[in-house]
Amino acid sequence: MLVCFLMGYASGLPLLLTMSTLQAWLKDSSVSLVNIGLITLVGMPYSWKFVWAPLFDRFGFVILGRRRGWLMATQILLSLSIFSMGLFNPQSHLTGLIIVAVLVAFFSASQDIVIDAFRREYLEDEELGLGSTLYVYGYRIAMILSSSGALILADQISWRSVYFIMALAMIPAMLTTLWVEEPSVTEQAPSSFKEAVIDPFSEFFSRHGSLLILLFILFYKLGDTMASAMTMPFYQDIGFTKTQIGVVAKGSGLASNLIGMAVGGALTLRLGISKCLYIFGFLQAISTACFSILVSTGPHLGWLSFIIGFENFTGGTGTAAFLAYMATQTNKKFTATQYALLTSLIGIPRTILSAPTGYLAELWGWWFFFIFCTLIAIPGMILLFKIVPWSEKN
């Protein structure tokens, strides 16, 4: 369970360094909102990781083994690329910074593929539930470190130094990889191109309603994700300091999110996945609409604390049900590649579909922008009726 927690830490640390934390750096450097919105495109590797996922099933390393070897390789490259981001000035070398940020996203997405496969092979079936929960806990705590921690540090030291420190924060992940044992598996690694690349996808798409399942995964958290893509410049725009954002908007949200995941997991067991997807999807949309309240109140810490707490709680409950649903859609024979396919779809709203959010915020203003993000959750709820009926018991 400790290994799962530390693997979650390794997976969560790089994510926001190319998203909200990078956006805060760019905002400080007077980069336009339009360009800040387009920066979400650097996360495209998260949306395409299923393309190279079979590589990690097919090949391994002689010294550390297949899973640990790939983990160590991606973690070293991650640390070096995060360090390299600190070498660029956004005002004079924005293009170079973006290129290195894309490399961070690529190595991070690659590490995620290996960690997901490692966790599935490392744990017994009865341990997967608890192991996945602790993985997400480590993931969330690392995200707080690379967002709240980075923001608070940025008020005291340069952004360059912040990214140097975040690169060093990958060291516990490398030590975990060296310490843990290689998973013991009975299945042989794919021995041909067809087994590694073709079979996982042909099995999934041969199922009835597979395309609707993919569309649902794409749209279910779309509105919530698009709103989250611009919350950092939104907080700064209405007058909150970086320390206030780090402590209130990010730090206090961790407890709400973890509590939400615990509540979501418990209710999923009691009510079933299908009912929870309906309930939590509706609550996610309401929490997105609540951001528009801050447009009227301005930099009011009380409202900020309430809205962030509510949004993180509903996000946690929705994540618990959503991950449980995705797990039911994978064939254990092809877990790594099929899970990479499904999680890649989650990355599309975070990258491609979030790219114009800065333009929309400038065009409509913050109030209409957040209302739009609320309404765009409707297609996902409609698809839910098609693929998971309310009465289904699962």
For position 59, which CATH number holds? 1.20.1250.20
Name, in order, each residue with C-beta under 8 angstroms of 265's C-beta and a sequence gap of 6 or more.
Answer: 129, 133, 320, 324
Task: Please give the Cα distance from 350 to 228 (Å, whole number).
Answer: 9
Question: In terms of C-beta distances under 8 Å and separation of at least 24 residues, what long-range contacts does 360-368 make, across chains too?
Answer: 360/37, 361/33, 361/37, 361/230, 361/233, 361/234, 362/33, 362/34, 365/295, 366/234, 366/237, 366/238, 366/291, 366/292, 366/295, 367/292, 367/295
Q: Write down the pLDDT at residue 128.
A: 61
| Higher local confidence (pLDDT), 120 or 153 | 153
Provide the residue range defining the domain that includes 255: 2-181+189-387
Task: Please give the Cα distance from 125 to 373 (Å, whole number).
Answer: 38
Task: Please give the Cα distance from 175 to 31 (Å, whole number).
Answer: 37
Residue type, 185: V
Q: Write down the pLDDT at residue 60.
A: 75
93 is a domain residue: yes
- The full DSSP string for 75-88 is HHHHHHHHHHHTT-
Mean pLDDT of the region 295-324: 83
Q: How confident is the model at residue 349 (pLDDT cuts 50, 70, 90)?
A: low
Task: Please give the Cα distance from 314 to 134 (Å, whole number).
Answer: 19
240 is a domain residue: yes
Q: How confident is the model at residue 151 (pLDDT cuts 50, 70, 90)?
A: confident
Mean pLDDT of the region 188-209: 80
For the cut 60, the answer to whether the pLDDT of residue 196 exceeds it is yes
392 is a domain residue: no
Q: Write down the pLDDT at residue 286.
A: 92
The CB density around residue 14, as the number of other CB atoms within 10 Å, is 30
Predicted confidence (pLDDT) per residue in 92-115, tens digit: 888 888 999 999 999 999 999 889
Least confidently predicted of 69-73, 189-193, 215-219, 371-375: 189-193
The HSE-up count of residue 230 (CA atoms within 13 Å, CB side) is: 33
173 is a domain residue: yes
Least confidently predicted of 125-129, 191-195, 254-258, 375-379: 125-129
For the cut 80, the answer to whether the pLDDT of residue 22 exceeds it is yes
Q: How confident is the model at residue 130 (pLDDT cuts 50, 70, 90)?
A: low
Instruction: Indicate the average pLDDT of the chain.
Output: 83
Q: Write down the pLDDT at residue 72.
A: 94
Q: How confident is the model at residue 187 (pLDDT cuts 50, 70, 90)?
A: low
The CB density around residue 186, as the number of other CB atoms within 10 Å, is 5
293 is a domain residue: yes
Q: Write down the pLDDT at residue 393.
A: 58
Specify whether the CB–CB gap between 6 and 176 falls below 8 A. yes
Number of domains composing the chain = 1
| Higher local confidence (pLDDT), 9 or 196 | 9
Q: Write down the pLDDT at residue 135.
A: 82
- The Cα diameter of the chain in Å comes to 61
Q: 3-class SS at 12?
A: helix
For the cut 60, the answer to whether the pLDDT of residue 85 exceeds it is yes
Q: Write down the pLDDT at residue 394.
A: 57
Q: Give me the residue label for tokens 């959750």.
A: 377
Q: Write down the pLDDT at residue 167.
A: 94
pTM (whole model) above 0.75: no
- The full DSSP string for 305-344 is HHHHHHHHHHHHHHHHHHHHHHHHTS-GGGHHHHHHHHHH
What are the helix and strand counts (H, E) for the chain? Answer: 24, 0
132 is a domain residue: yes
Task: Please give the Cα distance from 290 to 295 (Å, whole number).
Answer: 10
393 is a domain residue: no
Predicted confidence (pLDDT) per residue in 204-218, tens digit: 888 888 889 888 888
83 is a domain residue: yes
